[in-house]
Amino acid sequence: MPEKAVVIALGGNAILQHREAGTAEEQLANLRRAAIEIAAIAAAGYAVAVTHGNGPQVGDILLRNEIAKDILPPMPLDVCGAESQGMIGYLLQQALGEAGLDMPVAAVLTRTLVDGGDPALFGSPTKPIGPNYTAMQARGLEREKGWRMVQVPGQGYRRVVPSPRPLALVEGEAIARLFAAGVIVIAAGGGGVPVVGEGGGTLRGVEAVVDKDYTAALLARLVGAGDLLLLTDVEHVALNYGRADQQDLREMTIAEARRHLAAGQFPAGSMGPKVEAAVGFLDAGGERATIASLDSAADALRGRAGTRIRR
């Protein structure tokens, strides 16, 4: 594997931002910003693998399913996840091509192996997906499809699905070979399509969502990256986020990160998975993990922006 290697994880909300309509043009424009940063990192001599979130995009796909259900058969969640991987991978390939890279780029539609016995698949689901529903619609969906619905204050009801931990990337060997050959690989978008083993080598997609930050750490270990760069829509990890006494952090040790996690500083639905993924990556032998904003990716990799977590 290359001496200087980085896995860059783009947040789904950075690709489709709040209050945007979600047009292809808007998402391509946001990915062009990301591509400029990725190109600068590649030009600095790094081998690069990219992964990305897909929450807003899958939400739109599920909404289209709902609107067209009387005309076309709705697709299951694993198929919708694969569809979002293809769409975002294509747009990112286009954006990287426009950024003037002189190296090949390939998007790999990736399946993520999860444990069929993972308690997350059988306990209380936690990951909200898809559109908002009225109380009457939610009751009907629970009855007709067996979905678990939860009330979101001020918004209505949403479906929640399990979020099991990733074990391995099914396309891992292909990804590693491409990466070693100097290809910028886009892989495991949205955490990958979750699948479980059925015996005899058969895999079955499951109605679940794998957190993309945990999968990003898994991808980084797969390709032997020394750096994991988790990009989001804030400049730094912060203590007391959103309060008058908010404290932005430039650096944390693993021990400090664990202490803040235990104190509830980083919620499970936002910064928590990023910090946990960074700690897991470092525990497994990674050198540096940095959480930063999309527009400061290259500076964050140099240690000039974002929050760096170190051993």
**Cross-sheet strand order for the sheet of 193-199:** 166-169, 111-114, 193-199, 202-205
Residue with tokens 């991978």: 89
Which of 89, 190, 191, 212 is an active site residue? 212
Q: Is 12 one of the catalytic residues?
A: yes
Contact yes or no for 253/311 (Cβ under 8 A): yes
DSSP letter for 269, please: T
* Contact criterion met (CB below 8 Å) for 220 and 228: yes
Q: Which of 55, 127, 280, 306 is catalytic?
A: 127
Q: At what angle do helices 272-283 and 254-262 cross, to 10 degrees?
A: 140
Catalytic site includes residue 69: no
Q: Among 54, 55, 89, 274, which one carries the catalytic annotation?
A: 274
- Clarify whether 30 is annotated catalytic: no
Cβ within 8 Å of residue 248, ≥6 positions away: 235, 236, 237, 238, 307
Integer Cα distance of 190 and 50 in angstroms: 11
The catalytic residue among 13, 22, 116, 140 is: 13
Q: Which residues are catalytic?
A: 12-13, 127, 212, 274
